Structures are given as structure tokens and as C-alpha cells.
Chains A and B, each alone.
Chain A
Amino acid sequence: MSASPPPLSIEKLTKRFDKQVLAVDGLDLVVEEGQVLGLLGPNGAGKTTSLRMILGLIRPQSGRTLVFGEEILPGSPVLQKVGSLVDNPGFVPHLSGLRNLQLWWEAGGRRWAQADLDGALEVADLGTALGRKYRTYSHGMRQRLGLAQAVLGRPRLLILDEPTSGLDPQQMRHIREAVTRMARSGTTVLLSSHLLSEVEEVCTHAAVVDKGRLVTTGSVSDLTGTTRTVYLEVSDLDLARHALSALSGVTAVEDRPPGLLVTLGGAERSEVVAALVHGGVGVETVQARHRLEDAFLELVGDHSP
């Protein structure tokens, strides 16, 4: 007997919008049962496009997506097991939040009584506003209603595209807690984000994408466990380079104005600092970075955490 197929498996997914734009470029990814995988990438990395392909909204030029072992085509039966929030929530403006949920549910051909309304309402946390027209909702309320819609069918796989974008910290926490609750109750989650801290906080696994390609992937604890690089700001760059070149446990020193990025190959952070001080260099900032930061910050061109 083979093990049951993973909730999500993407094989060589490629999408080109027109001649110039290669939005997703041979993406391979597997999300195992129970994982909360963060798809981390800067703007335009191809996150939304990938998630739309996974949901059968956009046809890939090549490659395929398997959800619980079944291939995704528009309207595939297996989509029943998937809940999603793509880009922004979308609701009919002149109907109330509750009626929107009900009509959306029934348009899928299922009886309203079968929906997990209690679970969804807990996520939405809208109280009496649920009876108000959607048009009158704030951004945070809309986002919460969108997440409520996604969990209405007790999905086994939840796909969320930047679920906290544009929210204030309190609303963000609400959404993140809801996602964590879903994950604890056994739902597998794939969520995209361009916030490193969000992925570190919410996700068990991460995949960094850029320009439609996978840069690195692994469990968040692996990716954040080992310090591989140190970012330094020093009083004298030339002197610092010289001091570091003499150190055997350092494999690379790169310019990252206003500082330096030092790749460690065995040396400890304290040794690096000691060597610099010994060489007469004033050390102003020392920031240890783990692999996830390395991979991600390199992409977004941001050198301070």
C-alpha cells in the first residue's frame, strides 16, 4: 500500500502571460498533510498566479497540480476539499455578509445546513454586522468574511493569498490565530505572504519564490535554526575586510552598503567580532541572519531585519 497522496503537489508548473512576462517558471512544491506552508516572495514573484493555477482558475502552459492525488482542472470534484481566499475577498455589495455566505454556498450546489456556519462565524467575528450590507464593511471585516467563506466547507486544504495584507496589527493577529486554529484542527494550509515575520510566526514550513522560481524550501525551524551569515556595520570597511580575510572560518565577505555581509563557514559570531576589534575596527552593528532571512532579504533588497 502506498501512503495517501499529499494534500498538494505541484509539478513543473509554468505560466507565461505574454512574451515578456514569465510569471511562474517550472515551480515544484509539495505540501504534506498538516503542514502550514508559507509561500514567501516579493511583489510580482508569482504567488497569486501560482495559487490561481492550483485552484483551476488559470491554466498553466505546462506542468500540473495534484490535490489529494487528483489533477486540478477547472471545476475538478476535489476542489470540494479546498477552501480559498485569493487576492481580495469578493462579495456581492448589495447583500448582507450572511446572505453572501449562504448564496455562495448554495451556488456550489450544497445545502446550507451542511455548511460549518459556527466555525465560519467564529472566524468572521462580525457579530451583528453580519446582517449589514457588505458594501458597508471595513477592509478588516471584508477580509474576515473572506476567510469565513474559505472555511465554510470544512476544507482539508486551505489556500490563502496574503490573508493579512492591508490589515492593522490587531486584525492581523485575529487572522493569524484563526489560521493557526484551523491548522491545529488538522487542516493543511498554503498561504502566501511577503512578510517574513508572518511566515516565521504562523507557518511550519516555508518556500521562498522569486521571479516564478523556487529559491529555497524547508521547515521553518530548519531554515531559521542555523545562522549562516552576519551583517556588520563597522567604522572602517577596508580595515574590516582585511581583518576578516585572515579568519579561516569565514567563507565570503560581501559589500552590503552601509555594511558588510559575512558568510560563516565554521566561525562563531563572537570570533568575528573579536577579530575585528583586535584589528582595530569599531563594530557598530552585528545582526545574525538565518537562512530564511538570507534567502528572502536578498530578494527584496532589504538588509536590515
Chain B
Amino acid sequence: MIRVELTKQVRRLRTYVALGIVALVPVLITIAFVFGGHPHHAHGEADFFAVATRSGIDMPLAALTAMEGFLLVVVVALFAGDAVAGEASWGTLRYLLVRPVSRGRLLAAKLSVAALLSFAATLVLTLVALIAGVAAFGWHPIVTPAGLLMSQGAALARLGLSVVYVSWCMAGVVAFAFMLSTMTDSSFGAVAGGVALGVVSEILDAIPAFDSVRYGFPTHYWQAWNALFVPGTSLADMVRGVLIQLAYAGAFLGIAWWWFGRKDIKS
């Protein structure tokens, strides 16, 4: 069933457009750095942009930082929000359900494909940035934002871990968009809802008045993977980030399963 669902998505122009954009942006960022010369330290705090030209391996880290907050959110919300609502708008949902297949199994297959594509998006973004970065700035030990040198091997291992972490950070958004997808026949609404969750959470996270509750926002620990590149820092925030996503995903998916199991299919 997963294979069938995957076939439907993989043979779809939209999937390529989404992944294409995710691949294109790192290339554009790289080109900007090649022609834009060395970045200035606009803010007091250094980040991966500040060091992006020092080694090609810095580039995927800069790209993850740049795209995690919005573009990646849009793409994963697209995959998840369209999963069930898309079938409803095609009129195919009822035909998937008039057979001896449990609704839970259908959801599981749909969710697996959405998760797989979301992970693919993060992976594509990172790999393209890595290739473009190395082509432009070479295969050197990376310079971390704090100014430390890190060997290529160590950096790549941490990059791999970052990709997994960033992908997992999308779990809350994916689960939310997926939940909406089971409730509405409009995939646009479900996608927009997923994007809204990410964006609203980020905005609120930046407001000082929310100091006491922001640790519970789904986006709060999204950048926690930066700690991997600061030797000696605690990874406790990453662990918290993983657990928070688990809580959100569990809650949203629980509602999705419960709702879809008893829903009247009128589409």
C-alpha cells in the first residue's frame, strides 16, 4: 500500500517542483556567496553564514539554517497537508475506502509517504548545498561560527546528525498538516494550516512576553542542532527538541486517527 501511495506522488509534477525548489535555493545561496564576496558580520553573533565561504562543508549548514524556518516548513506541509485531502478532492478517497482495508492502514500508508518525502526534502537540500559548496569553496576543514576548526570527517558526521534532527523537527508541522488533511477536503487549507503553525510558533517564540511558555513551542528548539558544532556544549536542548516534537506529533496524529476513523466520507 505504501508503494502504491508513493507511486502516485512520485509520478506527480508537483513533487518534483517542490523538491526542485528545495534543491535550487542552496545553489542560489552558493552563487550569492561566490559573487557577493565575504559576508559581513551584520549581527554581533556569528552564524554559519559568516563562515560559509571558508569550506564547502559550511554551506549545507548555512542552507539548513536559512531554509529550516520557512521553505522547508512549506514543503513538508505540502506533502502532509495534501496526503488525504488531495484524495478527497480527486474523488478517489471514497474508492480507497470501499474495500476491506481499515482506515487506519490507509492513514499509516499516507503518513509514511508524507514523512518519507519530507525527509527526502531535507536530504536533497543538504546534499545539493554540500555539492555546490564544495564545488565553490573546496573541501577544507570547516570553521565553526565560534571560529574553531573541525575536520571534514567530524563535520560530516555532525552534518548527518543535523539532517536527521532537522527532519525530525518537522514532525509537529507534518502531523498538524496531516491531521487537518483528514478533516477537510481542501488540501490548500491543510497545507496553509501546517505552514501557519510553524510561522505563528516562530513569531510568538520571538516575543519576550512568552518567556515562560516558549519552551513548549514546537519551533523553539529547531536550531538546537547548532550545539553539535560547539565542542563541549550540552546537547540537552536537542533532546528536549526531540521530545517536544514527539509530544506534538503524538497528539495531532492521535486526533487524526480518531477523527478519520469515525468520519463520514462525503467527498
Binding site for B on A (CB under 8 A): 52, 55-59, 74-80, 82, 84, 86-95, 103-104, 106-109, 149
Contacts and interface: CB of A to CB of B under 8 A. Distances in A.
Given A59-B264, A88-B91, A94-B12, A107 B4 contact: yes
Interface of B is mostly: helix
B43 interface: no
Interface in B95-122: 95-103, 109
A57 B11 contact: no
Interface residues of B, number: 29
Contact of B93 (A56, A89, A90, A103): A90
A108 B100 contact: yes
A107 B101 contact: yes
Contacts of B90: 90-93
B92 A82 contact: no
Nearest to B93: A90
Contacts of A90: 90-95
Interface of B: 1, 3-5, 7-8, 11-13, 90-103, 109, 261-262, 264-266
A90 B93 CA distance: 8
Interface of A is mostly: loop
16 contacts: A57-B264, A58-B265, A75-B99, A75-B102, A76-B100, A77-B100, A80-B99, A84-B98, A86-B98, A87-B94, A90-B93, A91-B92, A94-B11, A107-B96, A107-B109, A108-B99
A69 B163 CA distance: 53
A59 B7 contact: no
Closest 5 CB pairs of A and B: A90-B91, A57-B265, A90-B92, A108-B99, A107-B4
Contacts of A77: 100
Nearest to A55: B98
Contact of B97 (A57, A80, A87, A106): A57
A55 B98 CA distance: 6
Given A57-B265, A74-B103, A88-B91, A94 B13 contact: yes
A106 B4 contact: yes
Nearest to B109: A107
